[in-house]
C-alpha cells in the first residue's frame, strides 16, 4: 500500500528538521576551530582565574540552561571545542568532566523547559 503524498511531505520535513538540529552545531564547532576562536575563548576563561570547582559549577549552570532548549548531542557539539581544551588546561580529568556534563545536560533535558522542543515538534505536524 502506498502512503499518501502528505505523509511523505511530513516525513521529509521532520527528517530535515532533525538533520538541521544536528548539523548546525557541527558546522559551528568547525568554524570555531578554524577561526581560532577556541584558543581565544580558552585564554579568556583561564584569565578569569576560576578554580576547577568554580569552572565546573559554571559549566553545569550553562549546560542546564542549554538543556532546556536543545538536545544533548547539539549541546556537546557546540560547546566541546571551546570547553575541552580549557578542561585539559585546568587539570580536570576528562572522564569526570564528561560524567558531570552528561548529568547536567540530562537534568536540563528532563526539566520543564524541555517542552519547548515538544512545541517545535508539534508545530511540524500542523
> Which residue ranges make up each domain of the chain?
5-125
The reported pLDDT for the residue numbered 3 is: 63
Mean per-residue pLDDT, 64-90: 86
The reported pLDDT for the residue numbered 79 is: 87
Of residues 44 and 117, the one with the higher pLDDT is 44
Using alpha carbons, select from 103, 117, 23 the residue that is nearest to residue 70. Answer: 117
Length of the chain, in residues: 126
Question: Does the pLDDT value for residue 124 go beyond 70?
Answer: no
Question: Does the pLDDT value for residue 29 go beyond 90?
Answer: no
The mean of the pLDDT values for the chain is 81
Amino acid at each position: 500500500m502506498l502512503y499518501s503524498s502528505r505523509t511523505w511531505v511530513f516525513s521529509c520535513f521532520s527528517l530535515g528538521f532533525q538533520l538541521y538540529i544536528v548539523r548546525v552545531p557541527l558546522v559551528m564547532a568547525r568554524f570555531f576551530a578554524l577561526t581560532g576562536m577556541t584558543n581565544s575563548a580558552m585564554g579568556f576563561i583561564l584569565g578569569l582565574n576560576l578554580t576547577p570547582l568554580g569552572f565546573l559549577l559554571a559549566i553545569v549552570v550553562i549546560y542546564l540552561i542549554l538543556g532546556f532548549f536543545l538536545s544533548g548531542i547539539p549541546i556537546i557539539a557546540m560547546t566541546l571545542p571551546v570547553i575541552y581544551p580549557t578542561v585539559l588546561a585546568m587539570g580536570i580529568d576528562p572522564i569526570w568532566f564528561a560524567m558531570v556534563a552528561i548529568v547536567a545536560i540530562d537534568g536540563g533535558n528532563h526539566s520543564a523547559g524541555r517542552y519547548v522542543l515538544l512545541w517545535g515538534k508539534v508545530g511540524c505536524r500542523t
